[in-house]
Amino acid sequence: MAELASLVQRLEVAVTRLESVSGPGGSSGESAAVSVYVEAFDEIVQGSVAQYISLSQKIGGDVQKHADMMKQGFSNQRQLLLKASTSQKPSDAVFTTLLQPISKVIQQVQSFREQNRTSPLFNHLSAVSESVPALGWVAMAPKPGPYVKDMQDAAMFYTNRVLKDYKDKDKVHVDWVKAYVSIWTDLQSYIKQHHTTGLSWSKSGPVASASAAPPAPAGGCPPPPPPGPPPPMDVGEASDGGAADNRNALFASINKGADITKGLKHVSDAQKTHKNPGLRGQAPVRAGPKPFSSPRHPPVLELDGKKWKVENQEGAENLVISETELKQVVYAFQCSRSTLHVKGKLNSITLDNCKKMGLVFDHVVGIVEIINCKDVKIQVMGKVPTISINKTDGCHVYLSGESLGCEIISAKSSEMNVLVPQKDGEFTEHAVPEQFKTVWDGSKLVTTVTEIV
């Protein structure tokens, strides 16, 4: 079924391309020239995109639903490229309207991930959600290629987790990662060749409009002539109307000179607020629009299957999870100014998008992950083999005597410190390196830590 779906996908793209270049009089040489990059985009859709969709259908579930959304996103982008290949660049307002179908898909993909945080395929959804803004490269002049590369790097953390989870279990998921990553790699090469400094618009043809109807092919009928000029205005009739009287009254007022201010109302000292502070509280307050604030979700602390969910906690200093089992995991999301104490021994703990968060735990047999956090403090009371810090600014890790052999893996993070206990009970602070030097030794790259001067 997956191979049949891939074949249908390729046929749909081929038919759409033939319809776009065909017309009553055929396509001219100029039309074929400007549609070269549309054909190159079709190769990406028929190649890595079709393979990604086919593998997503094999995996099924939420991954397949996500892939259907991405399929629509690439279809919308192709329509924009087709319009750009036959039309001149429009105004910014019209261009924004043309981008709306792509923007809606991006929002839909990201919302689907947020609504399915408990999905067993959450890492797959996160990889797509983090990188789908790359479809907005069409609006990222003058460097669309580096923008796509940044979005691809944003997904790398989650694609690596998928590879780690399924490397020795299911090859379909491994192939899914390779196919998905190759989409953005192919797109970067495509942009470098056809849209180096931004979306390329046609030098001829009509100016692009926000209407759904595509422009007529170059070989078709000529466009209708533009409407004639408006009829000349009857100056004599306008001068006899009220507009002339108003204009004369205005000039008459200006000619009064200093006498023009005699009609103004005099404000006495008793009515001036800067001389009478008591009047300031009586002044009417003009109601303006309220600043935008995102809705606050209710706090959550519950066990869902084998996952302890700790979400949207704010100012909670005494969060405790005591009844734990070895197969359970803890996932804390969007908590701030709170402290979580996890007792017993469990599989793993994850802090995601937390600020000024404190975590104290006894034993973890898997990994403790800190992702997209700011100013967090971690204290190990027992043992933990691995602590991962990713995209985090400000992280203090207090180790115990039993956990001195743990591995600390960091990426795209800053202000990381590890505090090691001494015999007298005090802690010695050690900074995790953030600056490195890489040189070519003739056969490979050699990277060493560089001390900040």
How does pLDDT run across 375-401, given as a tens digit for each residue? 999 999 999 999 999 999 999 999 999
Helices within 199-350 (DSSP H only): 235-239, 242-254
- Give the end of a domain, one of 195, 220, 245: 195
Q: Is residue 152 part of a domain?
A: yes
Q: Is the residue at 190 inside a domain? A: yes
Would you state the pLDDT for residue 340?
A: 95
Q: What is the pLDDT of residues 211-257, one digit of tens each?
A: 644 444 444 445 555 555 555 544 444 445 556 666 677 767 666 66
Burial (CB count within 10 angstroms: exposed 0-12, middle 13-18, buried 19+), residue 380: buried
98: CATH: 1.25.40.330
**Three-state SS for 289?**
coil
Is residue 422 one of the residues assigned to a domain?
A: yes
Last residue of a domain, one of 165, 195, 225: 195
CB 113: neighbour CB atoms within 10 A?
20
Give yes or no: residues 184 and 41 share one domain.
yes
Q: What are the tokens at 231?
A: 């009829």
Same domain, residue pair 56 and 182 = yes
Q: Which domain holds residue 332?
A: 300-449
Q: Is residue 274 assigned to a domain?
A: no
pLDDT in tens, 312-329: 999 998 899 998 999 999
Q: Give the Cα separation of 254 and 237 in Å (integer).
A: 25
- CATH of residue 390's domain is 2.160.20.70
pLDDT band at 4 (very low <50, low <70, confident <90, very high): low
Specify the number of domains making up the chain: 2
H or E stretch at 446: strand 445-449
Q: What is the reported pLDDT for 27?
A: 40
CA–CA separation, 214 and 97 (whole Å): 15
Q: How far is CA 191 from CA 41, 131, 141, in A?
A: 9, 16, 11
Q: What pLDDT does 410 receive?
A: 92
Report the distance separating Cα 88 and Cα 249, nearest Å.
Answer: 48
Helices and strands, counts by H and E, the chain: 11, 16
Three-state DSSP state, 274: coil
Reported as a single tens digit per residue, the pLDDT across 291-306 is 444 567 899 999 988 9
Structure tokens of 169? Answer: 């279990």
For residue 244, how many other CB atoms are within 10 A of its CB? 11
Higher-confidence residue of 334 and 280: namely: 334
Q: Does the predicted TM-score (pTM) go above 0.85?
A: no
Dihedral angle sign, alpha carbons of residues 405, 406, 407, 410: negative
- For the stretch 418-433, pLDDT in tens is 999 998 888 999 999 9
Query: Which of the pair, 20 or 18, is modelled with greater confidence?
Result: 18
190 and 46 in one domain? yes
Query: How many residues are given for the chain?
Result: 453
Query: How far is residue 323's CA from residue 318's CA, in Å, rounded to a whole number?
Result: 15
DSSP per residue, 321-371: E----TT-EEEEES-EEEEEEEEEEESEEEEES-EEEEEEEEEESSEEEEE
Whether 227 is in a domain gets the answer no
Give the pLDDT confidence score for residue 236 in this predicted structure.
47
- Domain end call among 174, 195, 216: 195
Residue 120 is classified by DSSP as T
Helix (H, G, I), strand (E, B) or coil at 217: coil
**Mean per-residue pLDDT for 104-130?**
91
Tell whether the torsion through CA atoms of 83, 88, 89 and 94 is positive or negative.
Answer: negative
User: How much is the pLDDT for 215?
Assistant: 44
Between residues 129 and 288, which one has the greater pLDDT? 129
Find the mean pLDDT for residues 2-28.
Answer: 54
Question: Across residues 364-369, what is the average pLDDT?
Answer: 94
